[in-house]
Structure 1
């Protein structure tokens, strides 16, 4: 009988190698050999005669050969392949019939074992549920379903399917399986349920965290206050940059005007005395414009010092460099620590910073408005004066 077992093993290996698609990463030769090994475990610890043992070993090797033909109903195809092969090997008819019945019994969802041999093959076929490699085998089966478009189970869905199958659909029949594999199966089930519980707890924590975050975001006054100060300070800084840019434009334009006047008109005034007054008016207004532009951007630095009493009385604004630039680092760090301890003092400093930034902006924009007004007025007056004196000369 060992010869027919060896021949069957070689036949199954070659059949899977030639005809089984590569997407079968669970139902393949490795799985068949695992079932064959589990069959031998039961046989060694049970009272089974040689003939029945041969039937079981042949069924274990041949039970999934039908996957080379189709997935659904593969048990029937496996029985046909087993019949054809064993007949070609001149195996006894009753052994072939026994192998076919055992193969058909592996369809555990719709059948119930009718005898001891069918119970053994059923236990061996599902022995991975009671083995240490269950997690690995289970993941291979999930990936096989995905690759063959049978069902795209997520890890969570697959875990729930396994728990359902463990509890409601599967059972071991033989004494050996109940003694050796059932305890491991229960451990595997406990691990699955533990994973599910951890997943639920993690999801619950994430939901709670999201709710608290949303609640904090919507209800926390500090967030609104911080947003206000951030936006206001950013707007003030942008406006200050715009003012400096406008002043720089005035400086550049009038510097060019004065350069052109000095290089072109001054040399001609000796012979054209009537141009002296219009030129003087033009240069005067340009000079006034430049002076005002400089005044608008001229920095105003304060004394840069504070006392301990100033910090304790909350009268110094530590957010503005002009109030601390002459202080030592350790004194400034102490003052900042004191300010951060007091929420009201911190917000009060930011408020003062905003206020004085606004005062600086007010001064800049008032001077800039005057600068542009004088520049426009000077340009108009200069043009009119040039026109008048040209007319008078003519």
Structure 2
């Protein structure tokens, strides 16, 4: 598996081909999820082969947005992975495992293995980080265009419901992010009530 070459390829593709209104779901988000996945995999002592599958899935997990709309973007991300990863020495079995990991990120998250749990936590790691409000603003700006979201009040209600229904899976992220995630939820609730 030529992960560095695959990384360079997909990040370049996302940089050059994604519609401009993807303020959140872009190459920077792919890098963010890749970095979080690497941190979690290291802390959780995931093996080298599984880590490569996980990191590749992190890079490709939202590439389906290259097709524009949000509908089934995870399936489209898998199409992109199946199309391009053989060129980077990934086997059919590697790619199917990567697609299984990608599909775990579909909301509501329903991972059915450990690598799926790690990518879910990586994808939503920002909920409990210091840059949450910066990234949340980018996602709001994107959703205004893609989903017709109108007001920050609407967005706050969506976020409150999302936070209340969300939980982290891995010991690493529960320990690292849960407390600040709760503080962020409380701050959003204060804005609304």
Equivalent residue for 1:181?
177
Query: Which is richer in helix?
Result: 1
Cα distance in 1 for partners of 2:94, 2:45 equals 18
Equivalent residue for 1:87?
86
Cα distance in 2 for partners of 1:143, 1:18 equals 20
Paired residues, number: 192
* CA deviation vs aligned residue, 1:164-206 (integer Å, no higher than 9, x gap): 11012x1100111111111111111111122223xxxxxxxxx
Instruction: Select 1:21's aligned residue among 10, 19, 22.
Output: 19
* CA deviation vs aligned residue, 1:300-335 (integer Å, no higher than 9, x gap): xxxxxxxxxxxxxxxxxxxxxxxxxxxxxxxxxxxx
Instruction: Select 1:114's aligned residue among 112, 115, 120.
Output: 112
Deviation at 1:37, TM superposition (A): 0.8
Cα distance in 2 for partners of 1:122, 1:102 equals 9
Structure 1 residue runs of 4 or more that deviate by more than 6 Å after TM superposition: none
Query: Matches of residues 211-360 of structure 1 in structure 2 within 5 Å?
Result: none
Equivalent residue for 1:143?
141
Deviation at 1:18, TM superposition (A): 2.9
Instruction: Decide whether the 8 Å contact of 1:108 with 1:122 is kept in 2.
Output: no
Deviation at 1:98, TM superposition (A): 1.1
Query: Matches of residues 364-375 of structure 1 in structure 2 within 5 Å?
Result: none
Equivalent residue for 1:280?
none
Equivalent residue for 2:152?
155
Deviation at 1:146, TM superposition (A): 1.3
Deviation at 1:65, TM superposition (A): 0.7
Equivalent residue for 1:287?
none
Q: Which has the higher contact order (CA 8 A, sep 6+)?
A: 2
Cα distance in 2 for partners of 1:46, 1:151 equals 39
Q: Secondary structure at the match of 2:21?
A: coil
Gaps of 5+ in 2: none
Equivalent residue for 1:105?
104
Q: Secondary structure at the match of 1:77?
A: helix
Instruction: Decide whether the 8 Å contact of 1:51 with 1:95 is kept in 2.
Output: no
Cα distance in 1 for partners of 2:116, 2:191 equals 33
Equivalent residue for 1:195?
191
Aligned alpha-carbon RMSD (Å): 1.3
Instruction: Decide whether the 8 Å contact of 1:145 with 1:152 is kept in 2.
Output: yes
Gaps of 5+ in 1: 198-394
Q: Secondary structure at the match of 2:8?
A: helix
Cα distance in 2 for partners of 1:57, 1:151 equals 32
